[in-house]
Structure 1
């Protein structure tokens, strides 16, 4: 199968298959290759613009699964948006790989500056009306947000720049850092176990949200149980500036959604700043990830007025999508396009660890997320190994403690015999609660030494 032996060699050979626009098909396949997708899906991406009788059989063996994927892809594009949306919805229930292939095809078109303006605009339109809503439906939230923003920049370049400049002028990223820092400290002091995620609303999300926006800045706190939800709620309210409380835990939404939403407007970096904090249990969060409402996807696509939400295809999709999440194809997609997590291999003191970390994690995030007790390194007690990091290699290259890691990186930590002082500036760089906690402990360790 293509790409199994020599990717670069196959790329060069493939150019002979295309009379024009070879780069698009090669790059689409490359996107999937870099995501470590399975060979059948990569091969289908490679050939999705070629008629099978034009493929020299002596060079390429095409199996049944590849033929099926390419056939579905080539039969797919129609002139009517509602037909295309319905076709994708049906195919997701049959084989999610087909949808992923189409999504990567459109992503490459809209991202490639060498693509003609007409084709980029067409791809941007498809992404905004069809692929981003369906990616949300499949639970690929980070992917949906990214492709929607990329498409918006192509479709509405003036508005994109205007909103982007507004976000930068308001210093939302810096304000978010400040809010997170305060929240993490208060939640930790209360002894709560939690995970915290956050975001600044993208230009595309701001533009397409028609009502008043109270959540340019959003923070989500996931805790273990309802008692912890109540404690976290009291802590958030203690910041002052509660504007509105929406309790979707007591008043569950019709689609089963449960979460506590607190709309706040507090003093952040000397300015009144609106932000939203969502609090829910891990069980509630898991249910949200597993049961996206298809009607909501239709609403986001702008097709809800054209399509009857009671259509049999929607009923069928509602039933089948949850079943398909258990299939190999779904697991492939979750692994291939899981933008919110990266996998890093870490070596330290002769031991090796396989870590899954949030996107944008740094070297110190990895260090402070290692187990406290590492074989052959007991002499470093009583402190966590993160305090002893004095240098690091990523893919055999020297990097700083604040270096951002990428999926698939190999990290080797160099540790000293004594605890190392870490700069407090790193508080703005790390993204995990363990690293935030570790840096605060590090400051306390060296404050005591100076007394």
Structure 2
């Protein structure tokens, strides 16, 4: 030991001290839990990982081993996992970043730890083809392992949380990629597993890096209004404390403040200002049951006592006790009118319910030996639904991300079978989704549905409490248009699988007909000849030609065009298909644009000015303008698309093609105009249009108005005005100006697709 320590530099000694302190904190946290105390194996994993990562530092400059320790700390302290998970967390980067193999880990720490580490290890690039996304493949592998061991995803979430907490050392383009991926996949995944506290932190950290100015603005507003909320809390709570004391409960009453991300989301979706959000404060009552077996009855008793103190809202009552959420969440919610005339939400939970709300399914182990009434079957159902999705091989791994996102992160509704069995379905699920949920045969041959004994279309969106009966016929087959309203992963997966099978069969028949045609014409089936035939029928590629032939959409006879010479004949195909010459392709010289994009340094921030904007494309899905937080996406065609960072399309791009994301910043100096659509709504009255035109005419802005459209209905007008403006400051000034008119209730920018 002397030989190793005497050579340490002051910096190395400082690092050792920091590493040992972090590991000791992890051990102390673990020893304070109810898990079996396996300190030896954890220490062994720590020493092994420390040696494996020796001399390596993170981008922030700290020793790399501090990252695995921090991940293990989160897994233990914030999720409640035990020694196997802690070891896997400590070792999670060894296989990826060092020469040690999974076999080495299995020999040293056992197959359980090794399998978790394998599930957490990223896939090396270059083996999935040109179209595959490394991020998507990594996530798929994670899910495959997770369906066998839920600890894989719990440690991955811990890893992502620590990465987000230390994201400031990364390049902006990497920040956008990681933050976007976190919002799209990991925050909803944490929510679905019941990790509410972690979900909230992931969302807020993503928001902070994607929209730093808005994040700071909301934090400042929350700070400035804290005194008002404290006053409301102090006035509202004393009668509740007296009631709970009289009932003999041991309890806590907490303030729950809406998070910056949640506030911003509501401001965006509802187009309201901060001071128009009225549910920023909620009260949470967490009680220890007097009798664990009577836990739910006691929760209702507390609610009944509350209704005697404050008036409850007639439509805001939420009972998550009788029907827990799929992530295990249980509580009673309602909104009550305070003595000061303000609506305040109150949430009532037991200590067990509170633990599960914060730590998710991992918290159940605390209560396994007690008499609590809880159900872990929902987790098994959820894992089964993942296996179901993964059992159907997707043609494109990127589709898997959407499928997983679509099905597993949705909110739930409760519906009934004809026999009265309760089934949990995702929110917005259709009658067709329900048919596939019960059985694939029912879905495939479903021709009609009865909801509450009345016939409804297959596209009918289910509501909680609906009773559903599926009518089938063996003659009914899957139709492509079903994909327009099937929403669950199981339904869409089965429909797509059947359609793919049918497509392959049609292509096989088409290829046979194509070969027979060439043989009949005594021609060679060369790619040139097939291409001429394909162009004649205006089809995109050979597969489309074969499919059209197999589906009898086109017929090959004596051709109007000699496929060898390209000369038009006057007999033959004209009997079947009218001849239309091939569409002329617009010849655009894009060499300059491609050269510009190829020459970009993806690690640097590109400045958007009059010159560079000419070589970029403004994304029509979100139509960003100067002042918006934006990023660039380098397309496979070597063009650069500019998206808002909050754009749903950009979120998918960050998740799928993170390495093609580039940081951007505006520098237009109000020299360029950009199209902007402003939506207005208000009370219809005589002279409204004149008043709007007059107020716009008298602004200080040099406005260019392109289009005005206003509709009226029952005394309410609703419309849009399209401008050419310089930046977001212009938008704010116009909206503020319009809102000064007493006619106008709302004015906001609309991201309308072209």
User: TM-score interval w.r.t. the shorter chain?
Assistant: 0.5 to 0.7
Give the counterpart of 1:299 among 394, 410, 425. Answer: 410
Cα distance between partner residues in 2 of 1:54 and 1:250: 46
Following TM superposition, by how much is the alpha carbon of 1:203 offset from its aligned partner in structure 2, in angstroms? 1.0
Match of 2:335 in 1: 263
Give the counterpart of 2:283 among 219, 232, 251. Answer: 219
Match of 1:50 in 2: 97
Cα distance between partner residues in 2 of 1:281 and 1:314: 39
The answer on whether the counterparts of 1:24 and 1:108 sit within 8 Å (CA) in structure 2 is no
Match of 1:93 in 2: 147
Kindly indicate whether structure 1 or structure 2 has the higher relative contact order, using CA contacts under 8 Å at least 6 residues apart.
1
- CA-atom RMSD in angstroms: 4.9
Match of 1:367 in 2: none
The answer on whether the counterparts of 1:214 and 1:263 sit within 8 Å (CA) in structure 2 is no
Please state if 1:160 is matched with 2:215: yes
Following TM superposition, by how much is the alpha carbon of 1:118 offset from its aligned partner in structure 2, in angstroms? 2.3
The equivalences for 1:163-312 within 5 A come to 163-171=218-226, 172=229, 175-176=232-233, 178-191=235-248, 196-209=253-266, 210=269, 214-221=278-285, 224=294, 228-229=298-299, 231-240=301-310, 242-249=312-319, 259-267=331-339, 273-279=342-348, 287=374, 291=378, 297-299=408-410, 308-311=487-490
Please state if 1:74 is matched with 2:115: no
Match of 2:203 in 1: 148
Following TM superposition, by how much is the alpha carbon of 1:309 offset from its aligned partner in structure 2, in angstroms? 2.2
The answer on whether the counterparts of 2:49 and 2:90 sit within 8 Å (CA) in structure 1 is no
The equivalences for 1:12-27 within 5 A come to 14-16=53-55, 23=62, 25-27=64-66
Following TM superposition, by how much is the alpha carbon of 1:160 offset from its aligned partner in structure 2, in angstroms? 1.5
The answer on whether the counterparts of 1:109 and 1:120 sit within 8 Å (CA) in structure 2 is no
Match of 1:398 in 2: none
Which structure 1 segments of 5+ residues have no match?
Answer: 316-451
C-alpha distance 19-303 of structure 1, shift in aligned 2 (>3 A): farther
C-alpha distance 134-258 of structure 1, shift in aligned 2 (>3 A): closer
Q: TM-score of the superposition, structure 1-length normalised?
A: 0.53
The answer on whether the counterparts of 2:319 and 2:332 sit within 8 Å (CA) in structure 1 is yes
Match of 1:107 in 2: 161
Following TM superposition, by how much is the alpha carbon of 1:276 offset from its aligned partner in structure 2, in angstroms? 0.6
What SS does structure 2 have at the residue aligned with 1:4? helix
The answer on whether the counterparts of 1:121 and 1:155 sit within 8 Å (CA) in structure 2 is yes
Cα distance between partner residues in 1 of 2:248 and 2:101: 65
Cα distance between partner residues in 2 of 1:291 and 1:176: 36
Cα distance between partner residues in 2 of 1:314 and 1:176: 49
The answer on whether the counterparts of 2:303 and 2:348 sit within 8 Å (CA) in structure 1 is yes
Following TM superposition, by how much is the alpha carbon of 1:29 offset from its aligned partner in structure 2, in angstroms? 0.5
C-alpha distance 54-277 of structure 1, shift in aligned 2 (>3 A): closer
Cα distance between partner residues in 1 of 2:320 and 2:44: 56
C-alpha distance 298-165 of structure 1, shift in aligned 2 (>3 A): same
Cα distance between partner residues in 2 of 1:132 and 1:43: 22
Q: Deviations over 1:390-442 (max 9, x none)?
A: xxxxxxxxxxxxxxxxxxxxxxxxxxxxxxxxxxxxxxxxxxxxxxxxxxxxx
What SS does structure 1 have at the residue aligned with 2:92? helix
Which structure 2 segments of 5+ residues have no match?
Answer: 1-39, 77-81, 125-131, 271-275, 355-372, 383-405, 412-425, 430-482, 495-754
C-alpha distance 288-155 of structure 1, shift in aligned 2 (>3 A): farther
Cα distance between partner residues in 1 of 2:100 and 2:249: 62
Q: Deviations over 1:308-346 (max 9, x none)?
A: 52429999xxxxxxxxxxxxxxxxxxxxxxxxxxxxxxx
Match of 1:331 in 2: none
Q: Deviations over 1:279-317 (max 9, x none)?
A: 4678988648874796785237x99999952429999xx
Q: Deviations over 1:104-141 (max 9, x none)?
A: 33223222122222222222222212112212222222
Cα distance between partner residues in 2 of 1:192 and 1:175: 23
Q: TM-score of the superposition, structure 2-length normalised?
A: 0.34
What SS does structure 1 have at the residue aligned with 2:169? coil
Cα distance between partner residues in 2 of 1:179 and 1:284: 23
Please state if 1:137 is matched with 2:207: no
Following TM superposition, by how much is the alpha carbon of 1:99 offset from its aligned partner in structure 2, in angstroms? 1.4
Match of 1:447 in 2: none
Match of 1:356 in 2: none
The answer on whether the counterparts of 1:262 and 1:278 sit within 8 Å (CA) in structure 2 is yes
